[in-house]
Amino acid sequence: MSVQSFQIDIAQSQLDDLEWRLRQTRWAATLPGAAWQKGTAPDELKALVDYWLHQYDWRQQERDLNQLGHYYWRQDETQIHFVHQRGNGPDPLPLLLTHGWPDSFLRYQKIIPLLTDPARFGGKAEDAFDVIVPSLPGFAFSACPPGGVNNAQIADLWAQLMTELGYPRFAASGGDIGSGVTRYLAVQHPDRLVGIHLTDIGLVRPLMQATGADLTDEARDYQAAAMKWITQEGAYMALQSTKPQTLAFALNDSPVGLASWILEKFHSWGDCQGNVFGRFSKDELLNNIMLYWLTASFGTSANLYYENSHSLPPMAKITVPTGLTRFPYDLMPPPRHWAEQNLAIRHWHELPRGGHFTAMEEPELLAQEIRAFYQPLR
């Protein structure tokens, strides 16, 4: 069979090696300036590493993660990991959830039960979903194809996976890279999709580069906000889309370096109000970091940025019914009139709290949005 179940079982030798490396950390000097001003705050990183060494229990986390249904799907030379949880309702709608970087399938860990068994959380059983959460190629337990892969190619892989699982039509949702993959699914396989739900639309390069007197004030505001974001937050993207191999050698060798690279993004992009540990627990931050470390997948995950910047085809207009839920501390969406011209917007809602890692930060709010968007489309 091309689909097989498996359980996470990390060799003890890997955990012993990790502990040795953490204890041998050569800490960088603290640069002058306020915490987080020049990157990861030393005190917060040291607190996380101290917890990692003395309190974090991977074996307990492993047991908890294995409560989910984990599977491998083999397609040619590619092995894709995915979580598959059946819905508890009269006719669950299959829902494909795609994560981004620097997160993993764990982005959706909290929201899965809210979607598969809504009645248990005060919702309606008829709103249940069968939830499928693949790990992107090159992330965690999913292998990276030898020639690399971009968002459009991943969309084709996902369509094949859903066929393999017996779902001729399905719903799809995603954020970050997952938003791009979901939109390519809508472009390349519109007949397969009931609708798509997004938490962002990424950086819209054509709109950012547009000029002329006919540009609206809203479009100009978007251009200014997007350029400010690139200036302040885009260094990682510039490096990963041009020289991912250079960075891979460093972060594949240093667990603290890897943790620093990822922790800074959760602080900067989450609705943290300056306190990353107030929004994300140390366990959930470390679980995500551990997936990158234990599978040595930072380089292959960063390579997706390179492939997208060098081989991604243009995005055509989307005709599949589309919902967008915006969280205030996530990337600013393009003007609504632009979105309505390029996507079949049926639902546009701005929520009062939450950031980029929406399903981790506000799972109840996002679950409500997904259920509401798909109710009339079932």
CATH class of the domain whose range is 36-377: alpha beta
Identify any residues that bridge with 171 across adjacent strands, giving them in sequence order. Answer: 95, 195
User: CA dist 5 to 1, 8, 80, 328, Å?
Assistant: 10, 10, 12, 38
pLDDT band per the 50, 70, 90 thresholds, residue 135: very high
pLDDT tens digits, residue range 214-230?
789 999 999 999 999 99
pLDDT tens digits, residue range 27-42?
999 999 989 999 999 9
Question: What contacts 64, CB < 8 A, 6 or more positions away?
Answer: none
Identify any residues that bridge with 15 across adjacent strands, giving them in sequence order. Answer: none
User: CA dist 183 to 11, 157, 217, 350, Å?
Assistant: 38, 14, 26, 20
- Which one of the listed residues 305, 306, 329, 374 is annotated catalytic? 305
Place of tokens 């248990």: 120
Mean pLDDT of the chain: 96
Among the listed ranges 114-118, 134-138, 205-209, 275-279, which one has the minimum average pLDDT value?
205-209
pLDDT band per the 50, 70, 90 thresholds, residue 1: low
Whether 356 is a known active-site residue: answer yes
Res 205: pLDDT: 86
Angle, in degrees to the nearest 10, between helices 42-54 and 12-23: 140
Handedness of CA 47, 52, 53, 56 (dihedral sign): positive
DSSP assignment string, 42-86: HHHHHHHHHHHHHT--HHHHHHHHTTS-EEEEEETTEEEEEEEE-
pLDDT tens digits, residue range 154-193?
999 999 999 999 999 999 999 999 999 999 999 999 999 9
- Which one of the listed residues 117, 127, 130, 176 is annotated catalytic? 176
pLDDT tens digits, residue range 42-96?
999 999 999 999 999 999 999 999 999 999 999 888 899 999 999 999 999 999 9
- Which one of the listed residues 200, 330, 356, 374 is annotated catalytic? 356
Whether 176 is a known active-site residue: answer yes
Residue 92 half-sphere exposure toward CB, CA atoms < 13 A: 22
What is the share, in percent, of the chain residues with pLDDT greater than 90?
91
Cβ–Cβ under 8 Å, residues 139 and 300: yes
pLDDT tens digits, residue range 330-354?
988 899 999 999 999 999 999 999 9
What is the Cα–Cα distance from 358 to 370, expressed in whole angstroms?
12
